Amino acid sequence: MTATLDPATDAGLAGAAEAVAVTARCVDLAFPAVTGQGTEFAVAESAMDAVTVDALIRDARAAHGDVAVQQAQAARLLAATAAERAVSTLRQVGGETTEPAASAARLAVHPTPIHQVRSAIGAAVHAGRFQYDATTLPLPPELVSLRALVRRFVTEQLLPHEARLNEDGDLPVELWAELERRGRELDLNALGLPAEHGGMGLGLVGQLVAAEEMGRVAVGFRHVVGTPPGSLPLARHGTAAQHAAYLRPWLRGERWGAWATTEPEAGSDLAAIRTVAVRDGDGWRIDGAKHFITGLDRADFVITFAKTDPDRGLKGLTAFLVDLDAPGVEVGREQHMMGREGLHSFELRYDGLHVGDDARLGEPDEGFRLLIADVSRMRVLMAGHCLGVAARLIDIAADWGRGRVQFGRPIGEFEALQWYLADSAAELLACRSSAYRTAMAIDAGQRAQAESATVKAYGTELACRVADRAMQILGGTGYCTELPVEALYRAVRLWRIAEGSSEIQRMLVGRQLAAGWRPEVGVA
C-alpha cells in the first residue's frame, strides 16, 4: 500500500491535542503517587512529552499548507505514543487508568491509525517532500538573514575542513586562527554578548538560529560561531579592569578562556567541589584539582570555581579568573574523549596558587548564582545545536536510502527504514517548536525552568536517536569514517552527559512538578 499524506489535518490536530491532554492528565494523577526516582523520572518524561508536543500543535495551528499538514501528522504520531506511555506509567504507580487508557487506545487509531501516519511521514521524508528544514520557520527578516549568513559560512568556510578535522583529530593552529578571524569579521563570534561589550546583543531566539545552523558541521567548529562559554558572566560580573584584561582580548582572538567547575569528586553535584580559596593577605590562596576542562591547550586563563565557605555548599562558591601561567597552576594530562575532534580536555591543579582580590569574578560566595544565571539559555542553545545535527543526519540518511539498492529496490522504499525517518523527522519538528517557544519565553523574561530542562533533555536525546537511526540506514557505510555519520554519532553522545545530564534535567522537571508546575497544554 502506498502511504499518502493525511488529508484530515484538523481532525489529526484535534486528536493530537486530545492525546496531549490525556498525557498531561496522567502526569497530574501519577505524580502524587510516584514510588521513587524511577517512577518520578517516568512521570517527568511524560510531562516533557506533553510540553514538547503541545508546542508543535501550537505551531501547526499557526502554520499553512504542507507545513501545517506535516506538523499535524508529526504531532499526531508523537502525541499518541506519549499518551500510551503516560498511561503505562500511571498504571505502574497504581493509578486508575480506565478512562485515560480507553482514550489513549482510541486516539491511537482515530481519526487515522497511527501506523498509517508514521508511514505517510516516512514516505514523504523518503520522497524529499517532508519539510523538516529550519528555513520553513516564520522568523523576523533579520533572523532569516542571520540564518542564511551562518548557513553560508558553515557551507563555504567550515564544511570543506570537516573531513580533515575528523580524520586528523584536529586542524593546524593557523587554520583555526584563520577560520576564527573570518567568523569575527562577520560578527559571528560573540552573538549573545551585549553590544557594549563588543557582542551582537542577540536575544536567545537569534542565538538559537545560529546554534541550529552550527549543528550542521562537526562539533569542533562550535567555538567559531556563537558566544564564548563563560564570556557572559565575565561581561556581566567583571570589573572594567577584568573586561580590559580578559574579555576584550578574548573577543579579538588574542586571549582564550576556559571554564572550570568539574572536579574528580564533583560532576553533577557541584556542592561537592573541593577546590578551596582562602584569604591570603590582600588576596586568595587557591588549592585543588579540576578535570575534564576543555580548551586548556589554547587557553591563557580559566574561570574557575572554588569554595570560599566550605560549610555552605553551593552558597559558599566563588568564581576567580586564573592566569594559566601563574605559579601554582599546573595543566595536567590530556583526558582523551570520544567524538571530540578539535576539542581537548585536561586535568588542572592549583597548588598554593596566590591570586589578588582583583581576580575574583563577582562577589564572594556568589559563584553559584553566577554559574546558573545563563543555564536555561545554555540548555536551549545545546538543543539548538542538536536540531542542526538531527536535520543534517536525516538529510544524509534519506539521500542514502534513495540511492542504495538492495534486493532490487532503493532501501529507502522499505517501510521499516521509512519509519526510522518518520520518527526522526517528527521528533525534530516537535523539539524545534518547543526550543523556539522556550527561547521566546526566556527572551520575554520568563524563567522557563521546566521548559528549558525539557528542551535540553529532549534535544540531546533526539540527536542520539537520530544518529543511531541514520547509522542503521547507512549500514556499514555509516560506521565507516569516510562519511561524517559516525563522527556525529560519537559527538552527540556527550550532550546527554554534559551541562546537566539527562537525569539532572528529569530531576529538575520532577522538582518543578513537586512545586506545582504542570505542562500548560492546550492554551491557544
Applying CB under 6 A, among 90, 121, 211, 293 the residue interacting with ligand FAD is 293
Half-sphere exposure for 489 (CA within 13 Å, toward CB): 17
For the chain, report the end-to-end CA distance as a whole number of angstroms: 37
- The grid coordinates listed for 63 are 502554520
Contact status: 268 vs ligand FAD (CB under 6 A): yes
Contact between residue 6 and residue 112 where contact means Cβ atoms under 8 Å apart: yes
* DSSP code per residue over 255-293: S-EEEE--BTTBSS-GGG---EEEEETTEEEEEEEEEEE
Residue 147 or 506 having the CB closest to ligand FAD: 506
Contact status: 300 vs ligand FAD (CB under 6 A): no
Contact between residue 466 and residue 515 where contact means Cβ atoms under 8 Å apart: no
Site map 327..356 versus ligand FAD, x via CB under 6 A: ----------x--x----x-----------
Stretch touching ligand FAD by CB under 6 A, among 85-93, 162-170, 256-264, 428-436? 256-264
Contact between residue 382 and residue 499 where contact means Cβ atoms under 8 Å apart: yes
Contact between residue 344 and residue 312 where contact means Cβ atoms under 8 Å apart: no
Cα(121)–Cα(412) distance, integer angstroms: 13
Residue 194, Cβ density class (10 Å: 0-12 exposed, 13-18 middle, ≥19 buried): middle
Cα(126)–Cα(129) distance, integer angstroms: 8
Residue 289 or 497 having the CB closest to ligand FAD: 497
Contact status: 259 vs ligand FAD (CB under 6 A): yes
Site map 208..237 versus ligand FAD, x via CB under 6 A: ------------------------------
> Residues touching ligand FAD: how many (CB under 6 A)?
19
Applying CB under 6 A, among 365, 395, 503, 522 the residue interacting with ligand FAD is 503
Stretch touching ligand FAD by CB under 6 A, among 130-138, 187-195, 259-267, 273-281? 259-267
Stretch touching ligand FAD by CB under 6 A, among 8-16, 86-94, 369-377, 493-501? 493-501
Pairing outcome for strands 317-323 and 360-361: antiparallel
CA 140, 146, 149, 155 dihedral sign is negative
Contact status: 292 vs ligand FAD (CB under 6 A): yes
Instruction: Look at residues 428, 434, 437, 425 and name the one whose alpha carbon lies nearest to residue 401.
Output: 425
Residue 243 or 340 having the CB closest to ligand FAD: 340
Cα(495)–Cα(383) distance, integer angstroms: 9
Contact status: 262 vs ligand FAD (CB under 6 A): yes
User: Minimum CB separation from ligand FAD for residue 305, in Å?
Assistant: 8
Applying CB under 6 A, among 214, 260, 299, 390 the residue interacting with ligand FAD is 260
Stretch touching ligand FAD by CB under 6 A, among 9-17, 189-197, 291-299, 449-457? 291-299
Residue 216 or 340 having the CB closest to ligand FAD: 340
Half-sphere exposure for 69 (CA within 13 Å, toward CB): 14
Residue 259 or 489 having the CB closest to ligand FAD: 259
DSSP class of 485? H
For residue 500, the SS3 value is coil
Query: Residues 402 to 441: which contact ligand FAD by CB under 6 A?
Result: none
Stretch touching ligand FAD by CB under 6 A, among 120-128, 262-270, 456-464, 479-487? 262-270
Interface residues with ligand FAD (CB under 6 A) are: 259-262, 267-268, 292-294, 337, 340, 345, 494, 497-498, 501, 503-504, 507
